[in-house]
C-alpha cells in the first residue's frame, strides 16, 4: 500500500491509498472554486446524563441523496468535478465538507448558545475534532462485501493510518471508525464509503464499557473481554466465524435483529496495533461476514459497522479492539425501529433469538 497526500480547493486534506504503487507524477488538482473551509460546531454539556452533545447547524445544508450522476464521491470527470479530483482511485480519504467536528470549528452567528449564571449546568465549548470520509472504491454500485481481499487490506491499512494520525491531534480523545450502509440506516450518499470521527471526549458507550471492565477486574481479577470471548467460543451456538486470528459471534444479549461482534483473538487496543497476519485475515473474514448478512434475506442489508477502539490517552489497558456490526432489518419487508423502550429508556427489545440469528448468518437455517 502507498499513500499520496494533497489538498482540495478549500484547504481540506485529501489522501489517496493505493493497492500497489502510486502512479507517477502529481495527482490531479481540485478545479472547483470553493470558499475556505470554516465549519460551525459546538459542544453542549448535558449535566443530567454526563454527556456532550454536538450542535453543528451547518450540516442542515449537506448533500442529501443526490442522483448517481451527481455523486460527490465518484471520481471527477472532464465535465464534472467531485470531492475527488482523480479520474480513478483505489481508496480515498478526505476531511468531510460538512463535519460534525473540525479542527477549525467556529461558532455560527446564529448559535449564541445558552445563557445564564450556571456555567456548570450549561457548559459550551468549540466542537474541535476531526471528521473524515473514507471511500472504499471508485465503483459507485459496489459495496464493501464486493471488494477483493487486496482492496479490503488497503482499506484496513487506511483505517490504521488514519487512526494513528488522528490520535496525535491534541484535541482528540477517541477515534471512531465506522460505516453506515443503506437509506434505512439514514445514509445520505449511496457510494460505498465509511467515516472516521476524532472525538474531543471519550464517548458514553466507551465509558460504560470501560467501567464494566474495571469493575469485573476488581471483583474477579480477570479480563471481561477475554472471558466473554472465551465463553462464546466454548458455547459455540452463536459463533459465526472462527479463524486463526479472529472470531465472530452473535452476542448472547444481542440488541438488534442481526448483530455480530468481531474480535481479534489477541488483545490489542486499537487498529494500528494489529500485525500483518491479523490484517490479512481481517481482509478475508470481514467481507465474508458481510456477505453472510446479505444472504439472510437475499438482499443488501442495511447495517452499521462500528469499530470500538481504546481511548487515545485513558484506560488503554482495559480496552479490547472489536467490531460491532448490526442491521435494523428483522424481515424482508420489516425494520427494527427504536421506539419508546429503546429511545426513551435505553432498554432494547429483540424480536429474533440470538441463537437463531447466528444460525441464519451461518446459513444453517433459512429465514422464516
In 3-state terms the chain splits into helix, strand, coil percentages (rounded to 5) of 25, 25, 50
Query: If we measure between CA atoms, which residue out of 1, 343, 301, 275 comes closest to residue 158?
Result: 1
Check whether residue 169 and residue 62 sit in a common domain: yes
In a shared domain, residues 111 and 240: no
State the chain's mean pLDDT as an integer. 94
Catalytic residue selected from 58, 128, 193, 261 = 193
Final residue belonging to a domain, choices 201, 235, 265 = 201
**Residue written as grid cell 437455517:** 365
Q: What pLDDT sits at residue 110?
A: 53
pLDDT of residue 366: 72
Residue 196 sits in the same domain as residue 266? no
Higher pLDDT, 251 or 110: 251
What average pLDDT score do residues 129-146 get? 97
What is the model's pTM? 0.95
What's the mean pLDDT in 174-185? 96
Q: Mark whether 184 and 325 lie in a shared domain.
A: no
- The predicted pLDDT at position 221 comes to 98
Q: Is there a catalytic annotation at residue 193?
A: yes
Quick check: 334 pLDDT over 90? yes
In tens, the pLDDT along 20-78 reads 998 888 899 999 999 988 888 999 999 999 999 999 998 988 889 999 999 999 999 99
Q: Of 201, 218, 249, which one is at a domain's C-terminal end?
A: 201
- CA 143 from centre of chain: 15
pLDDT score recorded for residue 117: 63
Residue at 368 is within a domain: no
Under the banding of pLDDT at 50, 70 and 90, the label for residue 128 is: very high
pLDDT at residue 12 tops 80:
yes
Our count of domains for the chain comes to 2
Q: Give me the CATH number covering residue 45.
A: 3.30.428.10
Indicate whether 67 belongs to any domain: yes
Q: Residue 265 is part of which domain span?
A: 205-362
Amino acid at each position: 500500500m502507498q499513500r499520496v497526500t494533497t489538498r482540495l480547493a478549500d484547504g481540506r486534506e485529501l489522501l489517496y491509498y493505493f493497492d500497489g504503487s502510486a502512479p507517477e507524477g502529481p495527482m490531479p488538482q481540485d478545479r472547483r472554486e470553493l470558499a475556505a473551509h470554516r465549519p460551525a460546531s459546538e459542544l453542549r454539556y448535558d449535566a443530567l446524563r454526563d454527556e456532550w452533545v454536538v450542535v453543528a447547524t451547518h450540516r442542515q445544508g449537506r448533500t442529501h441523496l443526490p442522483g448517481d450522476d451527481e455523486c460527490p464521491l465518484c471520481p471527477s470527470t472532464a465535465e464534472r468535478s467531485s470531492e475527488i479530483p482523480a479520474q480513478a482511485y483505489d481508496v480515498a480519504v478526505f476531511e468531510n465538507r460538512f463535519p460534525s467536528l473540525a479542527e477549525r470549528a467556529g461558532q455560527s452567528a446564529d448559535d449564541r448558545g445558552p445563557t445564564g449564571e450556571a456555567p456548570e449546568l450549561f457548559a459550551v465549548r468549540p466542537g474541535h475534532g476531526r471528521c473524515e470520509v473514507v471511500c472504499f472504491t471508485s465503483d459507485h454500485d459496489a459495496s464493501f462485501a464486493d471488494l477483493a481481499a487486496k482492496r479490503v487490506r488497503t482499506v484496513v491499512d487506511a483505517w490504521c493510518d488514519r487512526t494513528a494520525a488522528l490520535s496525535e491531534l491534541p484535541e482528540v480523545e477517541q477515534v471512531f471508525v465506522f460505516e453506515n450502509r443503506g437509506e434505512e440506516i439514514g445514509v445520505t450518499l449511496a457510494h460505498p464509503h465509511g467515516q472516521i470521527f476524532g472525538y474531543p471526549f471519550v464517548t458514553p458507550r466507551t465509558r460504560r464499557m470501560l467501567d464494566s471492565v474495571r469493575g469485573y477486574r476488581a471483583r474477579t481479577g480477570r479480563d471481561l473481554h477475554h472471558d466473554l470471548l472465551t465463553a462464546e467460543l466454548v458455547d459455540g451456538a452463536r459463533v459465526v466465524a472462527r479463524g486463526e486470528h479472529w472470531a465472530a459471534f452473535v452476542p448472547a444479549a444481542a440488541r438488534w435483529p442481526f448483530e455480530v461482534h468481531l474480535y481479534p483473538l489477541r488483545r490489542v487496543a486499537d487498529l494500528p496495533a494489529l500485525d500483518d497476519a491479523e490484517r490479512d485475515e481481517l481482509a478475508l473474514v470481514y467481507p465474508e461476514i458481510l456477505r453472510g448478512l446479505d444472504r439472510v434475506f437475499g438482499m443488501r442489508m442495511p447495517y452499521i459497522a462500528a469499530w470500538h477502539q481504546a481511548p487515545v490517552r485513558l484506560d488503554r489497558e482495559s480496552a479490547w479492539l472489536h467490531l460491532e456490526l448490526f442491521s435494523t432489518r428483522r424481515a424482508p419487508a420489516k425494520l427494527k425501529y427504536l421506539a419508546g423502550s429503546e429511545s426513551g429508556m435505553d432498554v432494547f427489545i429483540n424480536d429474533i433469538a440470538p441463537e437463531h440469528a447466528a444460525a441464519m448468518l451461518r446459513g444453517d437455517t433459512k429465514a422464516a
